[in-house]
Copies of this chain bind each other. A is one copy, B any other.
């Protein structure tokens, strides 16, 4: 039990601390039982850190991994002696002394609420990678303000192990004065609809209630799911410029008015889905890292704007470029404390295809883009994971390389259920682009009472990536034993009998809503398990269960959706049943 607690519990990082301070022999010895060499101890510690902080940071996407550096800063470590039951006496440092430690060579020191911390050893283990160096020699507060997820007791406990001193009272006072002048970077985020179910406030991440989502084929912008990685930037439409780079002719710069007047306005109805939609179901199998989305991190809207293809052609793109170019990189105007912007890329072939329908959109549902959805301009990449539909778009780059951003390289990828945070190699998997076929029950909610009129009605959505049309939704009222066909509803222009109304092959960007009304199964007990699965035009379908598609980031959660409900029979029907039972 002691072994488990010291190696897996809150004190699992104790061994190295214990060794440093040459105390806490019980903890040290128990660690040594697992980690017999210094190299192994480092590995163990690294893995634990990676695991712990990745969990906290992954939700915001604010994680950058940059390779493991060996540091040479151990000699810079002040030797403070900590004895059990008595707080250690820490030396006092001036801000200048702290500031002199801002490299791996000189040691990396930071301050937090008057404490001085030597985090040199931690830099290589930080799941957020080299961004941590931006705080080197200074205060952590402004950075943690950006990623509110750091403000947890657990992170503070981790930090406390690295404490080496106290900041001088004078310098602490200066710091506090500066801090009070800088405002919360999220302070200017827009107001949101109260119906949204918030998963994270800073950055803002929220999904609509399921019972509202499937009410309308077009999701009202106010309840369209929100997935921000950073504070919402304040962009002035008049001075806004889009930069298009990477082509031999040089940079093309376009104002919002130019985007609207120089290029035909193109309108596409497209469903966007977060890669982490339905992550909560994976979390129930085994904990994963990320925002605990339920089944509504998906919405459908009508987007209008210039076609990216047209803009690229205006910037000098020609098929010649396809000889060296492979990707279109998008850079957002949302940025972190270091000035790094959100970024992602899509394959060039998708961007330039006439039937790719990639937009530089300035309207959503017939109105200018709302602040939360990328005002004044965003990429809309139909059929492609939400993360590549970059909002507050500042720059488009034609390149031979994928975006080097964290979100393209070290996040939003799928792994096997056997891959964990200690073994994951992000280079081994492709960045998610098209999403797999998906569907979910949005009505009735889990635990609801159904069947009081002898009928069960279920509703939901179904969608697939890559423009593959949903051609069928199978619904089961008995946990997947027997199935029935759901009625499908597309957009108004798609309603009609037969296949003629179908969108062109490969361009079915929008979801379908589905509905089933069926008699309560004759053999139903007190509970029903309502299950749905969709089939798309490539006849791909959803896997039966979650565990075999579980992955450490909890993305791509598209197993059959299951909702358990209670059976409520009215008295008359029960009497009928009794009579039937007697007659047989």
Inter-subunit contact B506/A349 (CB<8 Å): yes
Inter-subunit contact A347/B505 (CB<8 Å): yes
Interface: A209 (CB within 8 A): no
Q: Give the dominant DSSP class at A's interface.
A: loop
Minimum CB–CB distance for A11 against chain B, Å:
29
Contacts of A533 in B (CB 8 A): 548
The interface-forming segment of A38-46, A307-315, A478-486 is: A478-486
Q: Which of B347, B355, B485, B502 contacts A418 (CB 8 A)?
A: B485
Inter-subunit contact A434/B537 (CB<8 Å): yes
List the B residue with the shortest CB-CB distance to A504: B349
Inter-subunit contact B417/A483 (CB<8 Å): yes
Contacts of A433 in B (CB 8 A): 505, 537-538
Copies of chain A in the complex: 2
Contacts of A548 in B (CB 8 A): 474, 480, 483, 533, 544
Q: Which of B414, B418, B427, B499 contacts A498 (CB 8 A)?
A: B427
Minimum CB–CB distance for A135 against chain B, Å:
32
Interface: A387 (CB within 8 A): no
A548→B543 CA distance, assembly (Å) = 10
Interface: A432 (CB within 8 A): yes
Inter-subunit contact B347/A466 (CB<8 Å): no
**A431-473 Cβ-contact flags toward B at 8 Å (1 or 0):** 0111111000000000000000000000000000110110110
Query: Which residue of A434, A474, A484, A499 has the most chain B CB atoms within 10 A of its CB atom?
Result: A434
List the B residue with the shortest CB-CB distance to A347: B505
Contacts of A474 in B (CB 8 A): 416-418, 548
Interface: A429 (CB within 8 A): yes
Inter-subunit contact B485/A416 (CB<8 Å): yes
Contacts of A160 in B (CB 8 A): none
Inter-subunit contact B539/A432 (CB<8 Å): yes
Contacts of A541 in B (CB 8 A): 436, 543, 549
Minimum CB–CB distance for A478 against chain B, Å:
12
Interface: A188 (CB within 8 A): no
Minimum CB–CB distance for A511 against chain B, Å:
16
Minimum CB–CB distance for A317 against chain B, Å:
15
Contacts of A540 in B (CB 8 A): 436-437, 538, 540
Contacts of A469 in B (CB 8 A): 430
Q: Which of B416, B537, B539, B542 contacts A483 (CB 8 A)?
A: B416
Inter-subunit contact A483/B418 (CB<8 Å): yes
**A517-540 Cβ-contact flags toward B at 8 Å (1 or 0):** 000000000000000010101111
**A387-428 Cβ-contact flags toward B at 8 Å (1 or 0):** 000000000000000000000000000101111000000010
Chain A: residues with CB nearer than 8 A to chain B? 347, 349-350, 355, 414, 416-419, 427, 429-430, 432-437, 465-466, 468-469, 471-472, 474, 480, 482-485, 498-499, 502, 504-506, 533, 535, 537-545, 548-549, 556
- 8 smallest CB-CB distances across A and B, nearest first, come from A544-B544, A434-B538, A436-B540, A347-B505, A540-B540, A436-B539, A418-B483, A539-B556
Show 7 residue pairs from A and B whose CB-CB distance is below 8 angstroms, ordered by the A residue: A414-B472, A414-B535, A429-B471, A465-B538, A539-B556, A541-B549, A544-B548
